[in-house]
Amino acid sequence: MPKRRLKRVNRRHIKRDAKMPFSQGVVVGNTLYLSGHIGLDSETKRVPADIPTEVHNLLKDVRSVLKEAGMTMDDLVYVQVYCPEISLWESFNEVYRTYFKGDLPARAFVGSGKLLFDAHFEFQAIAVKS
């Protein structure tokens, strides 16, 4: 029986730093798959000690990748947040809620080991363009 060739799905990669071995996001059709994002300060390239500032940095970065894909925070359908300190759940939520106008996406908040750059949070998500 002859092998069937699968059609390759068109993908668009959102990649800001050629040195990094991954894309910040990949768009397939009307769906965006976001890689893990952390709240680095754009100037110092360090995670700020202040938790709300770290969360704002993280969500601003996510929002900019969504914008590059032609989407908004309201297009997020699933979010996964990794955090080595579950006690920071409420601190994260206080800032997180301010980035949405309507219904919130489905979400998992997962306890983890140490994160890169000593970040308190790593955020990955799936968005579907409305």
Share above pLDDT 90 across residues of the chain, in percent, rounded to a whole number: 74
pLDDT tens, position by position, 58-100: 999 999 999 999 999 999 999 999 999 999 999 999 999 999 9
* pTM of this structure: 0.88
Q: Is residue 84 part of a domain?
A: yes
Looking at the 3D structure of the chain, how many domains does it have? 1
Q: Is residue 63 part of a domain?
A: yes
Q: Is residue 43 part of a domain?
A: yes
What's the CATH number where 80 sits? 3.30.1330.40
Residue 130, pLDDT > 90, answer: no
Q: Which pLDDT belongs to residue 51?
A: 96
Cβ count near 29 (within 10 Å): 10
Q: Is residue 29 part of a domain?
A: yes
| pLDDT band (50, 70, 90) for residue 5 | low
What's the mean pLDDT in 114-129? 96
Residue 13, pLDDT > 90, answer: no
* Element (DSSP H or E) covering residue 103: none
Range of the domain at 87: 23-128
| pLDDT band (50, 70, 90) for residue 18 | low
Contact assessment for residue 39 and residue 54, using Cβ atoms and an 8 Å cutoff: yes
Q: Is residue 40 part of a domain?
A: yes
- Hey, what are 6's tokens? 């699968």
Q: Which pLDDT belongs to residue 7?
A: 65
- Using the structure block, give the residue that is written with the tokens 């297009």: 75
